[in-house]
Amino acid sequence: MASRYWLKLYHEILHDPKMGTLSDRLWRRCIEMFLLAGDYDEEGRLPPIAGMAWTLRTDANELTRELAELAGLGILSENGDRWHVTKWIERQGAVSNAERTRRCRERKRSETYYGNESVTNRYTDTDVQADEIETTTEADRAIDSSEFVAAGPALQALLDVGLDSDVAQKLTDECPEGYILGWCAESRKRKLENPPGWVRSMLVRGHAPPAAYDNGIADQAHAGPADA
């Protein structure tokens, strides 16, 4: 199985009492275990001790003692002769529609309280690959659409095909309106299985939609956004 080249590292680690009590050495070792689990890609299972010790350029006996300390805090667990990151599947699995909806509501409440949107929230998840975008439920779309009370036709078209609100906003900022409307219309004609991912892919590549040639839009110079 191919290894993952990234993992989720939650902000709450900064406020987690278990992490806060770790020494600098053990804190680093903990993060290294997360990285190794991601690279090994067996649902949180870690490689054998000897292999980890070689990768981390450390002594196998010392590493075993450190893993035992992390296990005492519930961060790791041992099953037979192999170690696991305890909550790997729960923390690293795909975000469900329900969880995405909950986060969206929390973000809206935070924006209402503080009066503005953070840069972090504005650009969250905009670098997701096209084939990894999940189609939103009707409830998700309603929440996403409510973030843009005065949404223009291009933005609304992207939201209607099921794109995440942050991704839709970024594409609207970087792509010609005619391209967006054209590809959204084309996706409806083709009755695709994954309209959001397909539309985003076409816009990122900078291709002009078929309808654009009829409207003269194809003459516009457009190389496509570097990383929507």
**pLDDT tens by residue, 108-126:** 776 665 555 454 554 444 4
The H or E element containing residue 85 is strand 82-85
pLDDT at 127: 47
CA-closest candidate to residue 193, choices 149, 135, 117: 135
* Run of H or E including 78: strand 76-79
- Rounded CA gap, 145 and 187, in Å? 19
The per-residue pLDDT for 114 is 54
Supply the DSSP symbol for 79.
Answer: E
Amino acid (one-letter) located at 50:
A
Q: Flag residues of the chain having pLDDT under 70.
A: 1-4, 94-97, 99-100, 103, 110-151, 211-228
**What domains, with CATH codes, occur in the chain?**
11-92 (1.10.10.10), 97-219 (no CATH)
Please give the Cα distance from 45 to 79 (Å, whole number). 9
pTM listed for this prediction: 0.43
pLDDT at 4: 60
Of 35, 69, 68, whose CA–CA distance to 52 is shortest?
A: 35
Q: What is the pLDDT at residue 130? A: 43
Residue 138 contacts residue 160 (beta carbons within 8 Å): no
